[in-house]
């Protein structure tokens, strides 16, 4: 077995500060090095985050209504470099916590063989150029709500990510594709295409395979996105980096959808802005989704936030604009979950300069520069903690224990201080499970039959235009 990347050469020094009770929780290996795999995430430029989120939200509603697996066909925000096969073929892997398969394009699909080479940026995979390629079946078929998608083979081959090589790793190859960008889903294996569509057993996707092959102790990883102006973040499989958060990690149970754990819903109980409580005593399920640019909350809550911030709601876009100077205020928007879990998001993390994203400077009619506000109304769609929230949070996804641990992020961390996530209950080091978790009473997707795959309704839609599809969605849900 190849050893994993060790990000913190001075772990012993860090561990020396722990009390003995905490040290026991580390489940260190005998050689004392934490088993972790760390990746630097690059942030991708998205020219129109509003349109991007809207499309993603439509996809999400589609997914909830059918318990079928769809993933977005749009640019996901964060990616890293990897390679597949022998000799290695380079790909850019776009990360998605909302889906569970890796799939890559074949250069021979009609889309990828176009002269403009749309798949060139993310890279493609030629199975027969790899001596370690093995064909599994032709069940791979991911569909998008707009009728696009990718289908082809499930295969196994070697995948190389920073410092680690995994052999016989299963993924999909899109021989037919209408998305120029492959995706790496790191969600629950129960959400894989072959499970939802073909009723097959789940296979080990990337985090599960890292655990199965012993590179990490259990299926868990930490995500740190860094501040609004940062161009990169990091993903740490199998560990937590104490330099990247402050205060305590607090663990919250993930909410089941129907009878299953398959998406990252947690329960929010209170929201305040500055010293004003906007709403409390809530038991609202919210989806933790790094693939969403903005944060989406119930309309009544958002109306109050807009009132307090003098945000101007743009109904056609479903978002609000604020004077960019709002970002100079020091107030926090504080999101509370089951006590004591809470994350403070500074107003300057909620004010998005459109000019940075699009090159177009927006302004109000009086000439005051306008910025996009990071919170928008969810309407009758999912409540989402997107990047405008997540950049202020250090998030540990513990899929083995069905828990998410949160702590306040540190934007300019010092030297990495890495602890291994162990196995069994309480696997996340130094994290405490909330003593009285609040169960969600609203906000979860409607259960459309636990464990059963609802009829595949898109067959009637695939030929339609996007506008027609949106109309169809309204009828369906």
Ligand X SMILES: *[C@@H]1O[C@H](CO)[C@@H](O)[C@H](O)[C@H]1NC(C)=O
Q: Contact residues for ligand X (CB under 6 A)?
A: 40, 42, 81, 127-128, 141, 143, 151, 227-229, 307, 327, 330-332, 344, 346, 348-349, 353, 356, 408, 456, 458-459, 462
**Based on CB atoms, which residue is closest to ligand X, 424 or 456?**
456
DSSP 287: E
Output the residue with the shortest Cβ distance to ligand X: 344
Q: State how far the Cα of 322 lies from the Cα of 347, in Å rounded to an integer.
A: 11
Token couple for 164: 């680690």
**What sign results for the dihedral spanned by CA atoms 16, 20, 23, 27?**
positive
First CA to last CA distance, the chain: 49
Burial-class residue 60 by CB neighbours within 10 Å (0-12, 13-18, 19+): buried
Give the number of other CB atoms < 10 A from CB of residue 119: 24
- 336, 380 contact by CB (below 8 A): no
**Based on CB atoms, which residue is closest to ligand X, 236 or 427?**
236
**Based on CB atoms, which residue is closest to ligand X, 240 or 343?**
343
- Residue owning tokens 């998205």: 46
CB of 166 to ligand X, least distance (A): 18
**Based on CB atoms, which residue is closest to ligand X, 125 or 265?**
125
CB of 349 to ligand X, least distance (A): 6
CB of 397 to ligand X, least distance (A): 21
Q: State how far the Cα of 208 lies from the Cα of 460, in Å rounded to an integer.
A: 35
Q: State how far the Cα of 186 lies from the Cα of 222, in Å rounded to an integer.
A: 12
CA angle, 187 then 192 then 194, to 5°: 170
CB of 40 to ligand X, least distance (A): 5
**Based on CB atoms, which residue is closest to ligand X, 216 or 461?**
461
DSSP, residue by residue, 190-204: GGSHHHHTT-PPP--
Burial-class residue 9 by CB neighbours within 10 Å (0-12, 13-18, 19+): exposed
**In what helix (H) or strand (E) does residue 39 lie, and over which residues does it extend?**
strand 37-43
CA angle, 159 then 213 then 259, to 5°: 95
Q: Any idea of the CA torsion for 229, 232, 237, 239, to the nearest 10 degrees?
A: -50
CB of 95 to ligand X, least distance (A): 13
CB of 328 to ligand X, least distance (A): 7
Helix-, strand-, coil-residue percentages of the chain, each rounded to 5: 20, 35, 45
**Which phi and psi (to 5°) does residue 390 adopt?**
-65, -25
- For residue 377, say if its preceding peptide bond is cis, omega within 30 degrees of 0: no
How many residues does the structure list for the chain?
A: 477
**Based on CB atoms, which residue is closest to ligand X, 202 or 227?**
227
Half-sphere exposure of 406 (CA within 13 A, CB side): 26
H helix intervals, 213-315: 299-309
- Active-site positions read 96, 289
**DSSP 3-state of 150:** strand
**Based on CB atoms, which residue is closest to ligand X, 338 or 342?**
342
**In what helix (H) or strand (E) does residue 210 lie, and over which residues does it extend?**
helix 206-212
- Residue owning tokens 């026991």: 24
CB of 79 to ligand X, least distance (A): 9
**Based on CB atoms, which residue is closest to ligand X, 228 or 341?**
228
CB of 155 to ligand X, least distance (A): 8
**Based on CB atoms, which residue is closest to ligand X, 145 or 444?**
145
Largest CA distance in the chain: 66
CB of 92 to ligand X, least distance (A): 7
């Amino acid at each position: 077995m190849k050893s994993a990347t060790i990000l913190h050469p001075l772990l012993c020094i860090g561990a020396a500060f722990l009390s003995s009770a905490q040290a026991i929780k580390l489940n260190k290996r005998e050689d004392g090095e934490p088993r972790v795999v760390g990746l630097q995430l690059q942030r991708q430029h998205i020219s129109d985050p509003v349109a991007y989120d809207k499309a993603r939200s439509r996809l999400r509603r589609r997914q909830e209504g059918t318990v079928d697996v769809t993933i977005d066909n749009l640019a996901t925000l964060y990616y890293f470099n990897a390679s597949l096969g022998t000799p290695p073929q380079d790909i850019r892997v776009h990360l998605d916590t909302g889906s569970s398969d890796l799939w890559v394009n074949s250069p021979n699909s009609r889309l990828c063989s176009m002269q403009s080479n749309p798949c060139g940026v993310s890279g493609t995979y030629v199975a027969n150029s790899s001596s370690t390629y093995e064909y599994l079946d032709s069940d791979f078929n991911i569909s998008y709500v707009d009728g696009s998608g990718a289908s082809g083979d499930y295969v196994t081959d070697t995948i190389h990510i920073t410092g680690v090589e995994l052999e016989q790793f299963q993924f999909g190859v899109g021989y037919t594709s209408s998305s120029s960008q492959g995706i790496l889903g790191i969600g629950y294996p129960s959400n894989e295409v072959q499970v939802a569509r073909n009723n097959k057993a789940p296979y080990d996707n990337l985090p599960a395979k890292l655990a199965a092959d012993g590179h990490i102790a259990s299926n868990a990883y930490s995500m740190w996105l860094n501040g609004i102006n940062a161009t990169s973040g990091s993903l740490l499989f199998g560990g937590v980096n104490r330099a990247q958060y402050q205060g305590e990690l607090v663990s919250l149970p993930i909410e089941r959808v129907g009878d299953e754990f398959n998406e990252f819903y947690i329960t929010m109980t209170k929201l305040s802005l500055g010293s004003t409580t906007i709403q409390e005593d809530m038991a609202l399920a919210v989806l933790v989704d790094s693939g969403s640019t903005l944060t989406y909350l119930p309309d009544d809550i958002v109306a109050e936030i807009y009132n307090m911030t003098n945000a101007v709601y743009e109904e056609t876009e479903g978002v609000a604009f604020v004077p960019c100077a709002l970002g100079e205020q020091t107030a926090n928007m504080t999101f509370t979950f089951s006590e004591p879990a809470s994350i403070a998001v500074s107003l300057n993390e909620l004010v998005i300069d459109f000019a940075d994203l699009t090159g177009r400077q927006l302004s109000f009619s009086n000439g005051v520069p306008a910025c996009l506000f990071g919170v928008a109304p969810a309407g009758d769609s999912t409540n989402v903690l997107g990047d405008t929230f997540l950049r202020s949070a250090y998030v540990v996804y513990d899929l083995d224990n069905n828990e998410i641990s949160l702590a306040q992020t540190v934007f300019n961390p010092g030297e990495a201080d890495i602890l291994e996530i162990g196995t069994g209950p309480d696997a996340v080091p130094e994290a405490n499970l909330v003593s009285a978790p609040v169960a969600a009473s609203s906000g979860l997707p409607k259960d459309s039959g636990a464990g059963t795959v609802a009829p595949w309704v898109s067959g009637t839609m695939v030929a339609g235009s996007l506008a027609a599809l949106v109309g169809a969605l309204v009828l369906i849900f």
